[in-house]
Homo-oligomer: A and B are copies of this chain.
Amino acid sequence: MTDRLNVAVVGAGYWGPNLARNFRASTDWNLATICDLDGSRAQRVADSLGGVPTSTSLEQVLADPAIDAVAIATPARTHHPIVLAALDAGKHVMVEKPLADTREHGAEMVERARAGGLVLMADHTYCYTPAVMKIRELIADGSLGDILFIDSVRINLGLIQPDVDVFWDLAPHDLSILDFILPGGIDVPVVAAQGADPLATGKACVGYLTLPLSGGAIAHVHVNWLSPTKIRQMVIGGTRRTLVWDDLNPQQRLSVYDRGVDLELQSKETADSRAANISYRLGDTWSPALPEREALSNVAAELASAIREGRDARTSGESGLRVLSVLEAAGASLADGGAPQTIQTAIHAGGTA
């Protein structure tokens, strides 16, 4: 039997208690400490779990040689210094989304982890839900065929955030999912962003992202804080089948439609002649059963496995960095009236910036 790894949870605000509860319940982990500058907040979380050591000093936590990993759930602007400190102390790190507040910060974190041979994992929780894991599997095994389009909608009556716009608040979910399910990750050259701030709050409250994918496909994301109805839906059109993920329909989250457009390819056809060879399939619909398992317990297990196997986490720091790269280019597009902007590619661009 494997020994348990020791983890410290840093940040006991909104998300930290969920992390703490899942590490506590995991057989891979020993929840060694809950750390928060506000000691009473840390204590409340510790009490709710039947008693766990707490600390108000990040330094002391990082100085403890028994700690193997640190899970960070503090505000985004603090990720950069805390993660670097943890990596410098030789700790593996998992960090809440978004990875950092700027692409450059994120790139530095990824490089530091790589240099130190440490795991840097992005807590892209949605990727570890049974629905998204199934989607990844259905794309990977060819059930959907080649991807034609992905349309993601995440709208709600949401709290207007004081420091970030709707893109930075909501789109990391969609982008991290795209990065997780697309075979090559979200490796796109450009992004266009359209947004609106009709209440004059100083930041976009409604937003649209368009990402051209390889092979002529397209991905599109709609995020919105002003919608009175809540929609969380992703449609993934493929050459073989099309999948609809309706996250608010617990009785049928995933529907796989064996319906679509068939293209009978011939060797010498031209684009003009192709239209004539298109036909329709109106086949069955299938909704796979999904296991009931909390995503964060999968997250905890993945972090442990990555550390033990000396490999990148499936939602690695690079993944988090790709999400940041898209968000940063989207910001530039937004500032440029929606004109598409080139996305800086990962590390090296960041390293030289």
Contacts and interface: CB of A to CB of B under 8 A. Distances in A.
Interface residues of A, number: 77
Contact of A229 (B51, B227, B257): B257
A275 B226 contact: no
Tally of this chain's copies: 4
B286 A287 contact: yes
Interface stretch (A113-121, A167-175, A211-219, A309-317): A211-219
A156 to B, nearest CB: 11
A224 interface: yes
A138 to B, nearest CB: 13
Contacts of A278: 160, 199, 201
Contact of A201 (B218, B220, B271): B271
Contacts of A271: 200-202
Contact of A149 (B48, B196, B218, B282): B196
Q: Which of A196, A289, A339 has the most CB of B within 10 A?
A: A196
Interface string A144-158: 001111010001010
A195 interface: yes
Contact of A340 (B162, B285, B337): B337
Interface in A178-196: 190, 192, 194-196
Contacts of A266: none
A210 interface: yes
A280 B211 CA distance: 32
A319 interface: no
Nearest to A51: B47
Interface string A252-271: 10010111110100000001
A284 interface: yes
B283 A157 contact: no
Nearest to A226: B237
A351 interface: no
B222 A220 contact: yes
A288 interface: yes
A112 interface: no
Nearest to A211: B194
A226 B50 contact: no
A288 B271 CA distance: 34
17 contacts: A48-B48, A48-B50, A148-B196, A148-B198, A149-B198, A151-B155, A151-B224, A192-B194, A194-B218, A199-B278, A206-B218, A228-B242, A228-B259, A284-B286, A284-B287, A285-B286, A339-B339
